[in-house]
Amino acid sequence: MKEARHDRSGGAQADRRSRGVAPRTASPRRAGRRPRRAGRGRILRPHAASPLGAGSLEADHRVLIRRRTAILAVLMMAALASLLVRLVHLQLVRGAYLAGIAARQQLATIPLEPHRGRLLDRRGRPLAINVEATSIYAVPAAIPGHRAFAARLSPVLGVPEDDLLQRLKRGRYFAWLARKVRPEVVAAVEALHLGDQIGFRVEDLRAYPNGVLAAHVLGFVGIDNQGLAGVELRYDTLLRGRAGEAVAAHDGMGRVLVETQRIVEDPVDGSDLLLTIDQVIQHIAERELDAAVTRTQARAGVVAAMDIRTGEILALALRPVFDPAAAVRVAPELWTNRAISGVYEPGSTFKVILAAAALDSGLVDPQETFFDPGALQVAGRVIRNATGKKYGAQTMGDVIKHSSNVGSAQIATRLGRAVFHRYVRGFGFGAPTRVDLPGEIAGLVGTPAEWVPPRLQTIAFGQGISVTPLQLLAAVSAIGNRGMLPRPHVVRAVRDRAGRMTAVVGGPSGRRVVRPESAAAVLRMMVRAVEEGSGTLARIDGYRIAGKTGTAQKPAPQGGYDPDRYVASFVGIVPADAPQLAILVILDEPLGAYYGSEIAAPLFREVAAQTLWYLRIPPRTPLGQPRAP
């Protein structure tokens, strides 16, 4: 059996040699070891390597390796190229955007608010200034329990808990709790020792050192010092200035690290405005208006004073009034500047415009007489004099002196609708005066076609037409300004924070509405009305006063006129022999006496007399001596 196995083995090797395959030889390492068995009855023997085909296999192996290496290199190059493209995209295409995101994550942009410009009276006295106030904010991310936090602060800040909770939801790192609070509130909050949960910031608070003085002219601002009314709104861009910007790093809680702050752009403070308002004259007007409103129990009142040569408004007082420092806490109706945003029927003060139109048009001679029987029927309506008197034959000067409604209706009839309407519009009625205050309206004049009798005749004595107080003041100023209609304005100049004048805002010299001789003739008629007629209670010792009274019924809601509601007024020019000022006073719905000659003329006298003394305008006749006729 052993021989047989040997023969088979030898035969196998012989067979391998016959096929050109090298016989397998035992490895020297394995010499002496017995062959391994595989399975049952089989012995695995080592194969001898064949010398035939070895070079071919090695060549194929090298090609395979080179092929795999090339593929790997291509893949690596493609990966590197993709990475390079991505890097280029991130650096060049989206670099600025991503840098901005990173900066926002690391840096906080801090707006640097400029100081709002001041409002000064014509002599540089402050009317609106800035003071420092502390605002309180929270860092919501640093607050463990919002409701407990709100419960602690609510009674101190005077803000409902629910409102505080809503404010905490407005930001993760910053939320306003209370703006520009009183010092005692700040002290109370600090006493709670809330640490990093809250912070304090100093801001500018708009202050009005004279309280309600000139409130309707100055207006007021919002919580962010933005103008909301009056000059504060009209000139908001100039007053506000331009905000600056700083950047600073912040910590993980979003709190700004002040020591890292860097200014990017300096803020530019707002400009100061020099107003035409004179603080003293304004105080006189408001004090006397308060006294008159209290005395007559009027619902409202207006006093306005203007330089007839320049259109500068020296005083503009209205009642009721509001405190501009607390304007948001009063009814919005109180904000309305009724001198430009409210209309009224001017009554007999409008006869001045009628006289100017009649003389300047040449349709009425100053010496021509009109017969006044005390009543006049026009288109089915009876027109009567307010006093009930019959004045008989009277010139146009007598019509003004007696304030005759019948004589005025006759003159208007002579003029006709077209001519009278042209002069009314020429004096500025039915159009804004273009005063530099917001909210001005045009009034209600109508067209000539609408001035059918008896409206034409009633307009002659100021009923059936609606004007603003400032329109009437400007129109009467033209009589004292030799027929030139001035443009009212409340700002004289703009100054920078160093006090240097940067702009003059004054209005133009005006436009002509009547000839100088016509204006002079009407002015003389107004002097007679004060010295001899219905305006005697407006006289001032030592001065010649030109003026005209007015008493107008107010329209009734259901139509027609209310017999129990009146507007009493007086408009005058002082001094009449060298006109400088026009002053208009109005008392709306007084109780008891309601004639302009009784309650408005004395108010005019008090305001005018004190203003003349303050401006050092000397009297033309010695005090105590009778006036020349």
Query: H/E/C letters for each residue in 579-622?
Result: CCEEEEEEEECCCCCCCHHHHHHHHHHHHHHHHHHHCCCCCCCC
Name the band, by pLDDT with cuts 50, 70 and 90, for residue 91: confident
Tokens of 140: 């919501």
Is the Cα dihedral 96, 102, 103, 108 positive or negative? positive
Asked if 238 and 491 touch (Cβ cutoff 8 Å), the reply is no
Q: Is 539 helix (H, G, I), strand (E, B) or coil?
A: coil
| E strand or H helix that includes residue 111 | strand 107-112
Average pLDDT for residues 117-124, to the nearest whole number? 97
Percent of the chain with pLDDT over 70: 86
Residues involved in catalysis: 348
- CATH 1.10.3720.10 assigned to 282-614: no
> Could you tell me which of 368, 475, 351 has the C-alpha nearest to residue 408?
351
Predicted local confidence at residue 96, as pLDDT = 79
Say how far residue 184 (Cα) sits from the centre of its chain.
Answer: 30
Higher pLDDT, 225 or 621: 225
Average pLDDT for residues 45-74, to the nearest whole number? 73
List, by residue range, all CATH 3.90.1310.10 domains of the chain. 110-271
Higher pLDDT, 113 or 24: 113
Q: Is the pTM of this model over 0.85?
A: no
Distance CA 395, CA 484 (A): 25
List, by residue range, all CATH 3.40.710.10 domains of the chain. 282-614
Tokens of 115: 């100081």
Query: What DSSP character marks residue 415?
Result: H
Distance CA 515, CA 534 (A): 27
Largest interatomic CA distance in the chain: 177
Say how far residue 269 (Cα) sits from the centre of its chain.
Answer: 17
Predicted local confidence at residue 346, as pLDDT = 98
Neighbours of 13 (CB within 10 A): 14
Q: Return all residues near 386 (Cβ < 8 A) that are at least 6 apart.
A: 348, 403, 405, 551, 595
Report pLDDT digits (tens) over 203-214: 999 999 999 999
Number of H helices, E strands in the chain: 19, 23
Average pLDDT for residues 473-497, to the nearest whole number? 96
Report pLDDT digits (tens) over 519-546: 999 999 999 999 999 999 999 999 999 9
CATH T-level fold of 110-271: Penicillin-binding protein 2a (Domain 2) (3.90.1310)
Report pLDDT digits (tens) over 259-280: 566 777 889 999 999 999 999 9
